[in-house]
Amino acid sequence: MQDDSLESIRRVWREATEAYDVFTSLRAKLYSDNRSQLVEMVNEALIHPQNRSDQYLAFEIAETLTECERLKLLTALLSYCSCGRLAGQAKSLILALPRHPVLEVIEGAAEPVLAENDFLDWCNILDVFNSLDKELARRFATRMAAHDDPNIREWGSDFLKED
């Protein structure tokens, strides 16, 4: 009985390694044959994922892109800062970018995400801003404190009191 079980797991292991080899080969093909459109494809997979695999592959590839290419993903990455399972990864990718270029564009990049007026987005973007630059966070919290949504307003006011 144990031999059957061991053979079964070996078969599954071989199938998994074969699938992994195919995956590795296709991922390499994305870089070699489609490099000029890769950032656009990653952005699309982040914004309109067809399934979780789209998101996971997009994040995996995003980690290997140049800083300039990752900067083009900023709005999509900000939208993931409230996405439980991927929030930490999104924030890490943003914070790993060179600070000066990020600070030049991050407020504008956040606007499409903030337009949804989702409380968690506002709070998590404040957290990202605070990690990047205290003055940026203070300005953003001031904006939050004047928001129509009482929850967003309270969060911004509380941040300013602690500041």
| pLDDT for residue 2 is more than 80 | no
**If you compute the radius of gyration of the chain from its CA atoms, what whole number of angstroms results?**
20
Compute the average pLDDT of residues 113-136.
95
Tens-digit pLDDT profile for residues 57-101: 999 999 999 999 999 999 999 999 988 889 999 999 999 999 999
pLDDT at 21: 97
Only one residue has tokens 């900023």, namely 74
Contacts of 117-124 with CB under 8 Å at 24 or more apart are 117/149, 117/152, 118/82, 119/149, 119/151, 119/152, 119/155, 120/82, 121/79, 121/81, 121/82, 122/147, 122/149, 122/152, 122/155, 122/156, 123/82, 123/152, 123/155, 124/81, 124/82, 124/87, 124/91
Tens-digit pLDDT profile for residues 33-54: 888 899 999 999 999 999 999 9
For residues 138 and 19, what is the distance between their CA atoms, to the nearest angstrom? 49
pTM of the model: 0.86
